[in-house]
Structure 1
Amino acid sequence: MLSIVRPVLLLDEQRVRQNISRMVNKAKHHGVAFRPHFKTHQSAEIGGWFRDFGVKKITVSSLQMAYYFAESGWKDITIAFPVNVCELNQIQDLASTVHLNLLVSSSEAADILARDIKTDTGIFIEIDTGFKRSGMDVDNIDAIEKILIRIGTNKYLRFEGFLTHTGQTYLAAGPEQIRSISAETYAQLRRLKEAFHSAYPHALISIGDTPGCSVMDDFSGIDEIRPGNFVFYDLMQLQLGACQPDEVAVAMACPVVAVYPERNEMIIYGGAIHFSKEFITIPEKGPVFGMMVYLRKEQFTEPDPDIWISKLSQEHGTVRTVPHQAAHFSVGDILYFMPVHSCLTANLMREYHTLSGEIIQTMNS
């Protein structure tokens, strides 16, 4: 029996392992390398579950995270974030002990690495295929070639290939649009790879968004996939159609601290510092910061469309219900909510409570 007195992030280990198994098997079926992103769970223990399925190389989002997982025995790590040149000394220390890949997202960064790196290091060039966050424009062949030439002047830098995050799939209206966006991205990357094939025949194409990796059935021309959120999934992925309700593996458990039936609302102990302020928009509801689920037979149900978090303050969560529903709840009840973005919620909560009552630490615990 779970004993909950304050907000905690509950984790269904069975679902997590099923999600890992499903993506491992998908990568094998399509003949692509699997380098999962560990920024979602940030846990050495959960990382060990990936090892159980034969995973040997990983992705992280910071040098600090790379060190944390290196200390847990991971030897092949890509930092899928534009290289922070302020950390070059620490980067080289780590690169002397593991196979480390960095992400170059600008010509300036390439110049600095080419000048200063003195330790064997892998380099991916980040490619922007339309998300407009960071990376070199996929069609700017001349600028990409200049970076490749600059990298080639340093014997310690090893060009690995082209890497992208198709973040625009998170704006899709559903699975079909995810497939359309992903197919166009893959076609762009195939053309890019072909443009440099004669000079760099071993260059890899690495892609990494959970919606695309979850729904796509054709990875032609792709060499590596790096999804992260799939390990837990969340309300955003469910709304996108990237997963099913029984694949979402986490839920926030929050005590009810006030009930206001006359306004169809409750207040929970669980605010922005627990959930994050990420939201989705649902017609007739507006911004939704989480939706209520039930814990039945040690499993989370699909979301209840009649009960959702409509507003978040620092510690307060305002729960909205359809008429007459709020009166069914009392102060002291524990309610469960599917978070909108499990990566951010997990980072804020810093530990997991499994449904069997165990506590799993993260790098932030």
Structure 2
Amino acid sequence: MKTSVSCPTLVLDVDRCKRNIQRMAKKAKESKVIFRPHFKTHQSLEIGKWFKEVGVNCITVSSLRMAQYFSEEWDDITVAFPVNLREIDLINDLATKIHLTLLVESVETVQFLNNQLLDKVGCFVKIDTGYHRTGIPVSKIELLDDLLNCISASDKIQFKGFLTHTGHTYSCRSKEEIESIYMVAVNELSGLKKRYLNRFPNLILSFGDTPSCSVLDDFSAFDEIRPGNFVFYDVTQCLIGSCESKDVAVALACPVVAIHKDRNEIVIYGGGIHLSKDRIEENSQLIFGKIVKNSGLKWGDEIDGMFVKSLSQEHGIVYCPERIIDDFNVGDLIYVLPIHSCMTIDLMKKYLTTKNDWVSCMKLEQ
């Protein structure tokens, strides 16, 4: 198949992506939980339609502008990021169009919303179950009581329940480690549900991170799951054990612009502005991307011992073992599996699919 790649191009394997979606939807169905996938990874209305094919009717996003973009086709959206009070105009605009659910973790935020909202919104209280990024620890019962009292007093804010993101599973390297973090979240949120259920009989527990949702099978302790990265996966998820290399659904196709055999290095057109500078460490070596076998617009297995060793703005330096460096020529394409697919997509903003079609992503307007 003739490709149209002349510069760094993010290639999307449609079949792999759809399999990932179907697999996660099946897990949610078997656990009898709501599947509210996080769309911050793919950021595409077109890919969003593939979720509708498996029955998804509600989504998660990471910003109000992302909610605005997806509101063209989705009317039930949770913004899984603490409310930014400076975006109240956008909140009010969205609340008139869709069922919008926000995250709160302070009385001040709830009071501000109650005074400024023009329409009703839902809200989750964000709970910190060990990630320590945002959220309220379950031990702060007095704060939780105050917050829920404030929400209850509002005629514009509907309390939906408690939400957590166990992002610290990204540091795990075994199923047992992931399961341990998951069980902490189960125990802590189940305790909150027991405490407040009589007062809020419809409250739900919302949980989500790709490692947990990929490695584990039973999510019946929660009411909904919100994984996101699983739609594409990446090198980090392979390292964690969430997936295998064959499940990674995006790769950056990069032209070879120079070869330095004396240093076992290949220079590619593809740098930090394409891949981001996320990295992992293996055997004391920093790795900014893994190299896979090129097969037209598709790709195969990882090439053993070959990886992106450094990135600058436009340049990528690929380490290539001496035994295979003669297999590459200037002008060839090298396919790189990203360390963090979410960041790579955010930088690239569009995909060339393995079916030779272009798929666009959201573009932010200031």
Secondary structure, counterpart of 1:59 in structure 2: strand
Following superposition, the deviation at residue 175 of structure 1 comes to 2.1
Inter-partner Cα distance in structure 2 for 1:297 and 1:324: 23
Match of 2:311 in 1: 312
1:195-240 deviation line (CA, Å, top 9, x unaligned)? 2122112111101100011111222320000011110011000110
Q: Which residue of 2 aligns with 1:361?
A: 360
- Deviation track 1:141-171 (CA, whole Å, cap 9, x = no partner) reads 1111111111111101100011111000001
- 2-side partners of 1:265 and 1:228: how far apart? 34
Indicate the SS of the match to 2:256: strand
Q: Which residue of structure 2 aligns with residue 213 of structure 1?
A: 213
Determine helix, strand or coil for the equivalent of 1:307.
strand
**Deviations 1:11-61, CA, capped at 9 Å, x for gaps:** 011111111111111100001100001110100111111111111000111
Query: In structure 2, what is the equivalent of residue 7 of structure 1?
Result: 8
Question: Tell me, what secondary structure is at the counterpart of 2:102?
Answer: strand
Deviations 1:124-144 (A, max 9, x none): 011111111011112211111
Aligned equivalents of 2:220, 2:31: Cα separation in 1: 8
1:274 & 1:265 partners in 2: Cα distance?
19
Q: Distance in 2 between matches of 1:201 and 1:295?
A: 54
User: Which residue pairs with 2:254 in the alignment?
Assistant: 254
Match of 2:43 in 1: 42
- Please give the alpha-carbon distance, in whole angstroms, between the structure 2 residues aligned to 1:242 and 1:2: 31
Is this contact kept in 2: 1:182–1:216, CA < 8 A?
A: no
2: CA distance between counterparts of 1:333 and 1:356? 20
Counterpart-to-counterpart distance in 2, 1:164 and 1:183: 13
Deviations 1:159-202 (A, max 9, x none): 00111110000011222211221122111111121121221121
> Counterpart in 1 of 2:83?
83
Deviation at 1:299, TM superposition (A): 4.0
Matches within 5 A, 1:118-157: 118-157=118-157
Secondary structure, in 3 states, of the residue corresponding to 2:173?
coil
Looking at structure 2, the residues matched to 222 and 305 of structure 1 have their Cα atoms a distance apart, in angstroms, of 40
- The answer to whether the 8 A contact 1:289-1:312 is kept is yes
> Normalized against structure 1, the TM-score is what?
0.96
Q: Please, which moves more after superposition, 194-203 or 208-217? A: 194-203
| Aligned positions of 1:6-25 closer than 5 A | 6-25=7-26
Whole-Å Cα distance in 2 between the matches of residues 338 and 184 of structure 1? 32
TM-superposed deviation, 1:357: 1.0
Structure 1 counterpart of 2:64: 63
DSSP-derived class of the 1:304 partner: strand
CA distance in 1, matches of 2:106, 2:3: 49
Asked whether the 8 Å contact 1:271–1:317 carries over to 2, the reply is yes
Q: Which residue of 2 aligns with 1:198?
A: 198
Query: Which runs of 5 or more residues in structure 2 are unaligned?
Result: none
* SS class of match (2:304): coil
Q: Is the 8 A contact 2:279 2:286 kept in 1?
A: yes
1:333 matched to 2:332: yes
Letter in 2 for 1:349: M
Other structure's SS at 2:185 match: helix
Give the count of matched residue pairs. 363
Q: Deviations over 1:225-281 (max 9, x none)?
A: 001111001100011000122211110100011111111111100000000011111
Q: Note if contact 1:260-1:326 (Cα within 8 Å) is conserved in structure 2.
A: no
Distance 1:305-1:138 versus aligned 2 partners, 3 A rule: farther
Contact 1:271 1:315 in 2 (8 A): yes
**Distance (Å, rounded) in 2 between the aligned partners of 1:89 and 1:154:** 19
Counterpart in 2 of 1:27? 28
| C-alpha separation in 2, matches of 1:93 and 1:333 | 48
Superposition map of 1:229-244 within 5 A: 229-244=229-244
Name the CA distance, whole Å, in 2 between partners of 1:199 and 1:248: 44
Which letter maps to 1:344?
M
Separation (CA, whole Å) in 1 of partners of 2:191 and 2:6: 55
Q: Secondary structure at the match of 1:14?
A: helix
Aligned to 1:56, the other structure's residue is in SS state coil
* Off by >4 Å, runs of 4+ in structure 1: none
What do you get for the CA RMSD once the two structures are aligned? 1.4
Structure 1: which amino acid aligns with 2:353? T
Partner SS for 2:38: coil
Counterparts of 2:194 and 2:317, CA distance in 1: 53
Residue 108 of structure 1, CA deviation: 2.3
How far apart in 2 are the matches of 1:202 and 1:305? 52
AA of the residue aligned to 1:161? G
Could you tell me how far 1:360 is from its partner in structure 2? Answer: 0.3
Q: TM-score, with normalisation over the residues of structure 2?
A: 0.96
Tell me which residue corresponds to 2:104: 104
Contact 1:309-1:320 at 8 Å conserved across structures: yes
Match of 1:227 in 2: 227
Asked if the contact 1:166/1:209 (under 8 Å) is kept, the reply is yes
Q: Give the residue type in structure 2 aligned to 1:30.
A: S
| C-alpha contact (below 8 Å) 1:250/1:342 kept by paired residues | yes
Does the Cα contact within 8 Å between 1:291 and 1:305 map onto a contact in 2?
A: no
| SS at 1:306 equivalent | strand
